[in-house]
Structure 1
Amino acid sequence: MQTHYEQEERFRLAKKRVDELKGFYGNLVSYIVVNLGLMILNLMTSPEHLWFFWPMFGWGVGVLFHAMKVYGFTPFFGKDWEERKIRQFMEEEKKRNESFKGE
């Protein structure tokens, strides 16, 4: 049986996940709407020079990284990396404290 604290923690984590997904979907919808508008503007005003690809590409890279973070595909700074770094920093702090006690 779960304690009240465990249930609250699960709810908090689920709410955080929903908020992350909502932020990503908002970013994706904005990306599509704005870039469609830029494409239409570009094609109506200067179809000989297609500049709308540049903001589409730049923002698209950002959307891609946002998706990778939200869906848990972070090959460089994933959960394992975070946990390793936390353990490393905790060990370093423990050694530093022990060296001060020994002096």
Structure 2
Amino acid sequence: MEKYYKEDFGYNAAKKKVKEIKGFYVHLLVYLFVNVAIVAVAAYQNGDWHALNDIWTYSTAFFWGIGLFAHWLAVFGPNNLFGKDWEERKVKELMEKDKKRNWE
């Protein structure tokens, strides 16, 4: 019975992770679409590409980019840096070092 519970839990955790990854990619696509549209509208309104030197044209991309980076970090970053997998690898590494010391 416990085996099925662990499998269901693993499936649900994997499904949740896939949903988080999909959410990040949707966020990324919306970010790209909106910011390209802002640059295109700025260029069209002023009739030339010199408007692209205006800092306000890029302020949305900059500040939203900070939020997008935070979203990326929430989905991909901490788990890769100091998540559960990292903890398990580090414990195994330290156990191996201790085992080698005891054998020598």
Give TM-score, length-normalised by structure 2. Answer: 0.65
Of 57, 63, 69, the residue aligned with 2:68 is 63
Separation in structure 2 between the aligned mates of residue 26 and residue 52 of structure 1, nearest angstrom: 22
> What secondary structure is seen at the aligned counterpart in 2 of 1:3?
helix
Separation in structure 2 between the aligned mates of residue 32 and residue 73 of structure 1, nearest angstrom: 24
Q: Which amino acid aligns with 1:6?
A: K
Larger helix share, 1 or 2:
2
Q: What is the correspondence of 1:1-103 to structure 2 with a 5 Å cutoff?
A: 3-46=3-46, 47-48=50-51, 50=54, 51-73=56-78
CA RMSD, Structure 1 to Structure 2 (Å): 2.0
Task: In structure 2, list runs of 5 or more residues that go unmatched.
Answer: 85-104
Separation in structure 1 between the aligned mates of residue 43 and residue 10 of structure 2, nearest angstrom: 49
Give TM-score, length-normalised by structure 1. Answer: 0.66
Q: Which moves more between the two structures, 34-43 or 49-58?
A: 49-58
